[in-house]
Amino acid sequence: MASMSESRTVYNGAPPASELITEDGLTWLEYRKTLKPDYARAWRDAAFCYIMLFGAFALHIAITVHRGNTVGLILTPLSALWIGFWLHALNQFAHEGAHGNLARDRKRNDLLSDWLLWPLFAQTVRTYRVSHMQHHVHLGDLQDTEINYHECMHPWLITKCLTGVQLVVLLGHNLLKPKPAARTSKSGSASQRDLLLAVARTGLIHGLLIAVPALLGIFGPALAWLVGLVAIYPCFGSTRQMLEHRAYDAPCKTDFSKIEHGAINRHFGNDIFSRYFGAAGVNHHLLHHWDPGISYTRFADMEAFIQRTPYAAKMEEGRTTYWRAVSTLCQTAFKS
């Protein structure tokens, strides 16, 4: 596996590092060494997402207990949307952990990620890292491991998400598709075992969060967690990846599992929605793909550096907002 921090591979869709040089001769390879992650900020940001997730869930439980199940069930759609949104935000910190940007020491980074973030997401930091790195190396080609942008921004996708079909498809993709480690190393079976244990652990946690309130007769919050998890969270995840990587003019009828899509990267706004829909710097996804080793806590410095290089215009080309990208992709879907 290519290193995700020090030695820099040329990633699909990223400019060659040797060409990222400022007008006064500072090279990216030198400058990036100064961009040390702000670990405390990353954990503060993740803690905020946890507070939003469990604070609102506790509030929904309290309202249901005091006002009854009718009020609790009326609040369920809003609560499910909220739970799905913050689960999706937390998942972006788990992704940051896979890039080793949550602690200075890699072992400590992995331990913290595995205990504090991945338990909600049916993976381990190592199993995800092996697969995710192929997304960086193979973005847009037929070996890309993250394939949500193969989907068209069509009402059919919303239906698949809201019925939980998308979650089943993604879990199937994660569990059944042979991972690079499984094909190339003796640790493949250990990695498969870790993955199955992670799925069981996640099933237990979410199962308890749904079953305990349900068994106590607190139905609204139990249903909200279930819908937030199986429908809203995968819907946000799939949509985000499409916004990041799907070409605006990609026709719905093209099967990108057979025809190469090509590498497209975008980055989005800094408003409050974008900062949490694209949490942990995922709203600056183009920068992340240009150098996946850089912590999102240093993206402002990275962006300022690129502004001083010949790639400033290319970086600006990829800039949009989530709303503009949704609207453009929807227009293509309806036309094709």
Q: Which residues bind Zn ion (CB under 5 A)?
A: 292
User: Looking at beta carbons only, is 3 or 189 nearer to Zn ion?
Assistant: 3
In the bound complex, what is the minimum distance in angstroms from residue 26's beta carbon to Zn ion?
A: 25
In the bound complex, what is the minimum distance in angstroms from residue 24's beta carbon to Zn ion?
A: 30
For residue 282 the two structure tokens come to: 């995922």
User: Looking at beta carbons only, is 114 or 244 nearer to Zn ion?
Assistant: 244
Q: Which residues contact 181 (CB under 8 A, 6 or more apart)?
A: 1, 127, 130, 187, 188, 191
Q: Which residue is nearest to Zn ion (CB)?
A: 292
CA 249 to chain CA mean position, Å: 23
In the bound complex, what is the minimum distance in angstroms from residue 15's beta carbon to Zn ion?
A: 16
User: Looking at beta carbons only, is 210 or 263 nearer to Zn ion?
Assistant: 263
How many Å apart are CA 55 and CA 50, to the nearest integer? 8
DSSP 246-305: --TT--TT--TTTS-------B---SHHHHHHTTTTGGGHHHHHH-TTS-GGGHHHHHHH
For residue 319, give the 3-state DSSP assignment.
strand
User: Looking at beta carbons only, is 30 or 317 nearer to Zn ion?
Assistant: 317
User: Looking at beta carbons only, is 100 or 292 nearer to Zn ion?
Assistant: 292
In the bound complex, what is the minimum distance in angstroms from residue 55's beta carbon to Zn ion?
A: 28
Closest CA to 4 of 134, 117, 147: 134
User: Looking at beta carbons only, is 278 or 292 nearer to Zn ion?
Assistant: 292
For residue 257 the two structure tokens come to: 């599992």
How many Å apart are CA 91 and CA 280, to the nearest integer? 9
User: Looking at beta carbons only, is 147 or 230 nearer to Zn ion?
Assistant: 147
In the bound complex, what is the minimum distance in angstroms from residue 139's beta carbon to Zn ion?
A: 6
From the CB of residue 156, how many other CB atoms can be counted at a distance below 10 Å? Answer: 12
- Rg value, the chain, Cα: 20
Q: Which amino acid is at 245?
A: H
In the bound complex, what is the minimum distance in angstroms from residue 320's beta carbon to Zn ion?
A: 15
In the bound complex, what is the minimum distance in angstroms from residue 28's beta carbon to Zn ion?
A: 18
How many Å apart are CA 264 and CA 255, to the nearest integer? 17
Q: Which residues contact 303 (CB under 8 A, 6 or more apart)?
A: 284, 287, 315
In the bound complex, what is the minimum distance in angstroms from residue 62's beta carbon to Zn ion?
A: 37
User: Looking at beta carbons only, is 119 or 292 nearer to Zn ion?
Assistant: 292
Instruction: Look at the block and give the residue holding tokens 């829909």.
Output: 277
